[in-house]
Structures are given as C-alpha cells and as structure tokens.
C-alpha cells in the first residue's frame, strides 16, 4: 500500500525530530566552540543558539595558550595531546587489528586453541578499574608510564578481544571450500589467506578498525592512569581546561571536542562503503 | 591423462572411519563415477586425491608416483566443488584466470586461455560480472571453466550439478560427457544420483559406509550386482525385494503365498529374492500360473507406466511400456519367473545367483 502524502509528511517530521534530538548536543558544542568568552561564560546573560560574534579565539587559546580578553594563560597547549591521542590510538588500533585478525583466522580455520576465544574474552569480564590499578603498577616497574609505547600497548591489549571476536565471526562465514579451491588451484596456505580470504573479509576489517579506533580514541581511564605530562591524550587534557584560576573554560572545551570528533568522522567516511556490508553480518554469502 | 590410485586407504575423523580400507584404480581417460548415499565417504575420496586431507593409512598414487604426503598445489588436479566455491570478490573472468595467475603465466597466455575456455562453455559474455550476479547454471559453468583452464592431469567433480534444476541437470550432464570425450582427460565424478551415474560414467564405484561395494561398468552394476545393496541402489523404480526361504531350488514366501522354482542355485536357507520392475508381467486374474493380486495405484509417466501392485501385505512395482489401462482396486494376475530373479543371502546380502 502506498502511504498517503500526509503519512509521508508525518514520517519526515518524525525523522527530523529524532535527528534533531540526537544532534542538539553536537550542534550546541559546535556553536559553543565559536562563541567569544562573554557569550559562553557562566555569567553571560541570555542564551543564544548561534554565536552573535563568531570568533576563533577558543581555538587560538588551546593552540597558543592565550587569547584576547582572557587573563589566565595556558602553560600547556593542546598540540601535543592531539598528537599523543592520534599516535597511541592509531598504533593501538593497528596492532589490535593485525594480531586479532591473525589469531581469529587461526582459531577459525585450524583446530587449535579451542579455549582461546573465551579466555581472550575473560579480559573484559573484570571492571576496568580493577585491572587498571595493577596494570599501572606494572607499567611503573617497566618504565612505561607516560610513554607512547606503554599507552599503545595497553590499548592493543584491551581492544584485542573485540578485534579477535569480530574478525572470528567474519572468518567463520567464509566457506571452507573456497579456500580449498584456492589450495587446489595452486596457492600456498599463506597465499590463500592473503589473496582469497583477506579480500573477502575486507568489509569486516574496515568495521573492526573503526570500532576499535573509537574505543581507543575515547579512552579516559587508561590514559589518566598511565600518562603524566608528555603523552597526555585529549580526554585527559580536557581536565586542564578547568582550573581554580580560570573556572570552566566551556568554549575551549567545545573547541577541543570539535577537533576530537574529526578523526573518527574522517575514518568513518573513508571506509563508509565497506561499513554497511561489514556491520550487516552475513553479507558474504554468494 | 593420468591414472589415479588409492591403495588400502583409511581416513578417520574423530575415530569414525569416513573411508575404510579403500583400494581403487582409475584408468587413464576414464569417466569414473563414485556413487553412493549421502555421507558414505564419496567426497572424502576426492579430498584425499586432492591432498586436502591426508590418509591415516594407505597410499595415494598419481601416474604410479606416490603423492600421499604432497600438498594440493603440487598435485596438478582440477576440481569443481559441490558449492562451486567461486571467489566472490573476483569477477567471473578473474575466477577462471585464477589458476593461471597463481602459476605466474604470461598475461597474454592467460587472456587467450580464458577466452578459449569461456567460448567453449558459452560464457564469454559474462566474464566481467561477479559471481553474485550470475544464475546457478552460469556459475556452474564458471566453476567448470576454472577447472578446465589449466589442463591438469585429471579433473575431479563433487556433485557439480546438484545445485541446478532437473532440466538443466539433464542437458548439462550430456555436455559434460561430450566435454570429457573431447578433452580426453581422466574425470572423477561424485554423485548421489543413480541416473546421473549410470548415464555418464564409463565405470562406477558404489560406496557404502566408507567402503567400496562394487566397481564396474553401468551394465555390470545393473545386471550383475554383487550384493542386495547394489541391486537396490541402481534402477528406478527400485528393484522389488521379497524375503523368503529357499530349499532345494524352491523359493517360498509364506506371507505372500508365493512359490517359485529357481534354477542354478545350491543354497538352502533364508534369502532375499529381488526382481526388476520390468521383469514382472501382469496377466488376467486367474491365468495359469499367475498369482492373484490387486492394483494399488497407477503412476502413468507418458512413455511408460509404473503399476503398484499389492500382493497380500506387500507392494510390488511393475514397469510397463505405454499407458495400459488399470484402475486402483482392479483384480489382476501376476507372473514372476524364478529365473529372472536375483537371489541374495538374507544375512550378508551377497549375491547367490544372477538371473539365468
């Protein structure tokens, strides 16, 4: 049955409403990021949806440490935390996806390590805080506190179960006979993996990368416990934007939040064409 | 262009023997069928030949050379899998070219070979499409083309026509038989369809529970079965089996009131008597020497008719030419000739006597 024009209109109204509810906080953040100090500060009178005098002052402040109209200056800019976040989250993601993919393939294809899938999962059964305090002490002994490799390593370890399990479901869907056909037609075991199986789970790898990257990118707890100054990440650095001297620097936080939203969005858009297939499991059937 | 041989091969999966002590020799240029009920070990034999599984016992030889422990890509065999196993991320043409690209053939050679094979199988217009956009019959041709493109020692096919509808299956199997003759290559073909096996094979191996029951030409399998199982598994409709006692050349099935004279057999004891549906004659009720029976159901099939006849507790199938006029419930006479019957031991199922 074809919906009547009224039904279509109602449908669009509801969709726009639902979208608006989801997007309001994000729009508010964007608006806040471009407002000058006197518009976002707590004492400001009158709340406006859009900045009356748009400014890049908030961005200037977090990147250079000072801006016009604000007496308190920042002794530690956001440049290094942005770099630290990018480096540790990317490295952690790359390692977790590579290791998870190889492990998942082995478990999916060969009758080895039957208990591995569940024992990998047990890492996630503890409350993160219960695990992180001992990890912090270990990392301190190993001299890995406040290093990029220390943080990347814990990101790899913590997100490995996700990449392993996601990739395992994708590999399980590749029919064994397709690999056998490749074996018969002249591939070595590794060639089969590289030339046949891996291209078939491309979509799965793409969605795993995005999922794991977002987990790493938004981590606060681990970075808080394992970094001090040099390799502080964006979420931890966010704290520096509220001091006794300056109060809550909402505009600056919004500016930083806006910057922090960019990498996942770029990543998501660049692998978009695989995502729909990857997230709808079972797309591999011929 | 090769002989393939299994020498007392056994393969177990978790203590269950999928293939037990099988010896087979497939001759050069032979169209060889392996036929049996589902999960009787047919596919395992192909996988053993291909090297996808390694036998627990026994040896595998190709052209007299022991290849038991050689890897699949060292064996130079072509395979068509039951689910066709096309690579979904490659186009039809790339699928067909795959065996050649993996062997690092020159690009011009690959192009020529793919074009040649595609033309032979009438799929040259589909080469740019991915498998997902092809019909079942087209996919099956692509899978066969991928096996043919390379000119291996022998082709192995695991129920390649199972996914096709009945009409397409019939026409494709004829093409396949012609193709095999043109290529003059050894072809091993696994099927669970007796009609398919009988119609295309030079020789057939009948399998049951991981063992070979009988190997022979379709004629031998049909006319000289070595066991009750083999006689039942070929022929449509199935052969009629009557349990009874044989003593001094006289067969007696008490529950059916049937008595037959069987010549040329010295066995005394419980036997299974089997008679092909086409060897039973229907006469008028009360004709001399005829059993009184009743028509149970009639299956007119155009060129011939299957009449199901109830004889006391049992139902026998009778194969008659044309479209004879019978109605369910009609009284008829049945004539069985003891000399047209197969006699099998009731215990072991072994053949005691073929028709004389």
Residue ranges per structural domain of chain B? 4-226, 240-353
CB contact under 8 A, B85 and A284: no
CB contact under 8 A, A183 and B73: yes
Distance CA(B16)–CA(B7), nearest Å, equals 19
Superfamily classification of domain B4-226: P-loop containing nucleotide triphosphate hydrolases (3.40.50.300)
- Is the predicted pLDDT of residue A270 greater than 90, yes or no? no
Q: Give the nearest chain B residue to A178 (CA atoms).
A: B85
Kindly list the residues from chain A whose CB atom is less than 8 angstroms away from the CB atom of residue B94. Answer: none
Q: Please report, rounded to a whole number, the percentage of residues in chain A having pLDDT higher than 70.
A: 94
> Measured between CA atoms, how close is A111 to chain B, in angstroms?
12
CB contact under 8 A, B102 and A187: yes
A286 vs B47, B71, B131: nearest CB: B131
B83 vs A177, A185, A284: nearest CB: A177
Kindly list the residues from chain A whose CB atom is less than 8 angstroms away from the CB atom of residue B103. Answer: 186
| Residue of A185, A192, A206 best to disrupt the B interface, most CBs of B under 10 A | A185
Residues 106-145 of B with CB under 8 A from A: 131-132, 139
Among A6-20, A117-131, A212-226, which is the least confidently predicted range?
A117-131
CB contact under 8 A, B52 and A191: no
Angle between helix A148-173 and A202-217 (nearest 10) = 150
> Measured between CA atoms, how close is B134 to chain A, in angstroms?
10
CA-closest candidate to residue B307, choices B288, B292, B289, B328: B328
CB contact under 8 A, B83 and A175: yes
Contact between B4 and B49 under an 8 Å Cβ cutoff? The reply is yes
> Which residues in A have their CB inside 8 Å of a CB on B?
175, 177-178, 180-188, 191, 195-196, 199-200, 202, 284, 286
- Is the predicted pLDDT of residue A278 greater than 70, yes or no? no
CB contact under 8 A, B89 and A187: no
Distance CA(B152)–CA(B247), nearest Å, equals 56
CB contact under 8 A, A286 and B99: no
The confidence score (pLDDT) of residue B203 equals 95
> Measured between CA atoms, how close is A286 to chain B, in angstroms?
5
Q: Give the nearest chain B residue to A191 (CA atoms).
A: B102
Size of interface A-B (CB pairs under 8 A): 67
The pLDDT of A158-186, averaged and rounded, is: 90
B88 vs A182, A184, A284: nearest CB: A284
The confidence score (pLDDT) of residue A43 equals 59
pLDDT (tens, 9 = 90+) of chain B, 356 residues, equals 689 999 999 999 888 889 999 999 999 999 999 999 888 889 999 999 999 999 999 999 999 899 999 988 888 898 998 888 899 889 999 999 999 998 888 899 999 999 988 988 888 899 999 988 888 888 888 998 998 888 889 999 998 888 778 888 888 888 888 888 888 889 999 998 888 899 999 999 999 999 999 999 999 999 999 999 999 999 888 999 999 999 888 888 877 778 888 888 888 889 999 999 999 988 888 777 788 888 999 999 988 999 999 988 888 999 999 888 888 988 898 888 888 899 999 888 899 998 88
Does B150 lie at the interface with A, CB-CB under 8 angstroms? yes
Distance CA(A227)–CA(A150), nearest Å, equals 9
Kindly list the residues from chain B whose CB atom is less than 8 angstroms away from the CB atom of residue A188. Answer: 71, 73
CB contact under 8 A, B52 and A186: no
Residue ranges per structural domain of chain A? 5-64, 79-279
- The model's pTM: 0.78
| Residue of A114, A174, A186, A190 best to disrupt the B interface, most CBs of B under 10 A | A186
The confidence score (pLDDT) of residue A44 equals 58
Cα of first residue to Cα of last residue in chain B, in angstroms, is 39
Contact between A52 and A39 under an 8 Å Cβ cutoff? The reply is yes
SS3 assignment, position B352: strand
ipTM over 0.95: no
The confidence score (pLDDT) of residue A91 equals 96
> Could you report the per-residue pLDDT of A84-116, keeping only the tens digit for each?
999 999 999 999 999 999 999 999 888 777 777
DSSP state of A123: G
Superfamily classification of domain A79-279: MetI-like (1.10.3720.10)
Contact between A185 and A194 under an 8 Å Cβ cutoff? The reply is no
CB contact under 8 A, B99 and A185: yes
3-state class percentages of chain A: helix first, strand second, coil last, to nearest 5: 70, 0, 30
CB contact under 8 A, A199 and B72: no
Kindly list the residues from chain B whose CB atom is less than 8 angstroms away from the CB atom of residue A180. Answer: 47, 50, 52, 72, 79, 81, 85
> Could you report the per-residue pLDDT of A29-66, keeping only the tens digit for each?
999 899 888 788 765 567 777 888 888 888 988 888 87
The confidence score (pLDDT) of residue A146 equals 92
The confidence score (pLDDT) of residue A45 equals 67
Per DSSP, the residues of B136-179 read HHHHHHHHHHHHHTT--SEEEEESTTTTS-HHHHHHHHHHHHHH
Contact between B184 and B27 under an 8 Å Cβ cutoff? The reply is no
Instruction: List CB contacts of B112: < 8 A, sequence separation 6 or more.
Output: none
A175 vs B50, B85, B103: nearest CB: B85
pLDDT band at A283 (very low <50, low <70, confident <90, very high): very low
Query: Which residue pairs from A38-41 have beta carbons closer than 8 angstroms and sit at least 24 positions apart in sequence?
Result: A38/A69, A39/A251, A40/A250, A40/A251, A40/A254, A41/A247, A41/A250, A41/A251
pLDDT band at A282 (very low <50, low <70, confident <90, very high): very low
Strand pairing of B154-158 and B77-80?
Answer: parallel
Query: What CATH architecture applies to the domain B240-353?
Result: Beta Barrel (2.40)
- Is the predicted pLDDT of residue A279 greater than 60, yes or no? no
């Amino acid at each position: 049955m074809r919906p009547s024009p009224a039904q279509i209109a109602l449908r669009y109204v509801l969709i726009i409403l639902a979208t608006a509810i989801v997007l309001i906080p994000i729009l508010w953040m964007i608006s806040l990021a471009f407002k000058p100090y006197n518009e976002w500060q707590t004492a400001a009178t009158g709340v406006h949806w859009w900045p009356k005098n748009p400014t890049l002052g908030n961005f200037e402040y977090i990147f250079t440490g000072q801006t016009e109209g604000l007496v308190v200056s920042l002794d530690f800019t956001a440049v290094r935390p942005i770099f630290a976040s990018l480096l540790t989250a990317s490295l952690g993601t790359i390692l977790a996806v590579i290791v998870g993919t190889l492990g998942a393939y082995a478990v999916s294809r060969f009758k080895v390590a039957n208990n591995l899938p569940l024992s990998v999962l047990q890492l996630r059964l503890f409350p993160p805080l219960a695990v992180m305090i001992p990890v912090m002490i270990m990392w301190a002994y190993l001299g890995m506190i406040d290093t990029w490799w220390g943080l990347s390593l814990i990101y790899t370890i913590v997100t490995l179960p996700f990449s392993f399990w996601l990739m395992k479901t994708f590999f399980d869907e590749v029919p064994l006979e397709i690999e056998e056909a490749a074996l018969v037609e002249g591939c070595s075991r590794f060639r089969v993996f590289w030339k046949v199986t891996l291209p078939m789970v491309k979509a799965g790898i793409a969605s795993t990368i995005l999922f794991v990257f977002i987990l790493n990118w938004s981590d606060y707890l681990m970075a808080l416990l394992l970094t001090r100054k040099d390799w502080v990440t964006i979420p931890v650095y966010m704290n520096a934007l509220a001091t006794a001297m300056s109060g809550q620097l909402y505009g600056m936080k919004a500016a930083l939040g806006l910057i922090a939203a960019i990498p996942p969005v770029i990543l998501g858009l660049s692998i978009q064409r695989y995502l729909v297939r990857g997230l709808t499991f079972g797309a591999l059937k011929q | 262009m090769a002989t393939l041989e299994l020498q007392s091969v056994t393969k177990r999966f978790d203590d269950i023997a999928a293939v037990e002590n099988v010896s087979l020799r497939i001759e050069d240029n032979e169209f060889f069928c392996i036929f049996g009920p589902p999960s009787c070990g047919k596919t395992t034999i192909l996988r053993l030949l291909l090297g996808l599984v390694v036998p627990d016992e026994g040896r595998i030889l190709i052209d007299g050379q022991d290849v038991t422990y050689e890897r699949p890509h060292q064996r130079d065999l072509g395979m068509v899998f039951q689910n066709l196993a096309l690579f979904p991320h490659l186009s039809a043409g790339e699928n067909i070219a795959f065996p050649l690209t993996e062997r690092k053939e020159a690009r011009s050679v690959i192009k020529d070979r793919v074009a040649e094979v595609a033309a032979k199988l009438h799929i040259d217009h589909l080469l740019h499409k991915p498998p997902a956009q092809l019909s079942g019959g087209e996919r099956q041709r692509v899978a066969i083309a991928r096996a043919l493109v390379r000119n291996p020692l022998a082709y192995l096919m695991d129920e390649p026509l199972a996914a096709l509808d009945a009409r397409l299956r019939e026409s494709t199997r004829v093409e396949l038989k012609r193709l095999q003759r043109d290529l003059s290559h050894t072809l091993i073909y696994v099927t669970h369809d007796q009609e398919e096996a009988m119609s295309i094979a030079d020789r057939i191996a009948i399998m049951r529970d991981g063992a070979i029951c009988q190997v022979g030409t379709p004629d031998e399998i049909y006319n000289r079965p070595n066991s009750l199982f083999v006689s039942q598994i070929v022929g449509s409709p199935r052969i009629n089996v009557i349990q009874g006692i044989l003593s001094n050349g006289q067969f007696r099935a008490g529950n059916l009131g049937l008595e037959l004279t069987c010549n040329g057999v010295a066995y005394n004891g419980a036997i299974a008597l089997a008679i092909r549906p086409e060897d039973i004659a229907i006469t008028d009720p009360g004709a001399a020497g005829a059993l009184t029976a009743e028509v149970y159901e009639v299956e007119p099939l155009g060129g011939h008719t299957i009449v199901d006849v109830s004889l006391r507790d049992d139902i026998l199938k009778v194969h008659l030419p044309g479209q004879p006029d019978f109605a369910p419930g009609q009284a008829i006479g049945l004539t069985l000739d003891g000399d047209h019957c197969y006699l099998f031991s009731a215990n072991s199922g072994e053949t005691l006597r073929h028709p004389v």
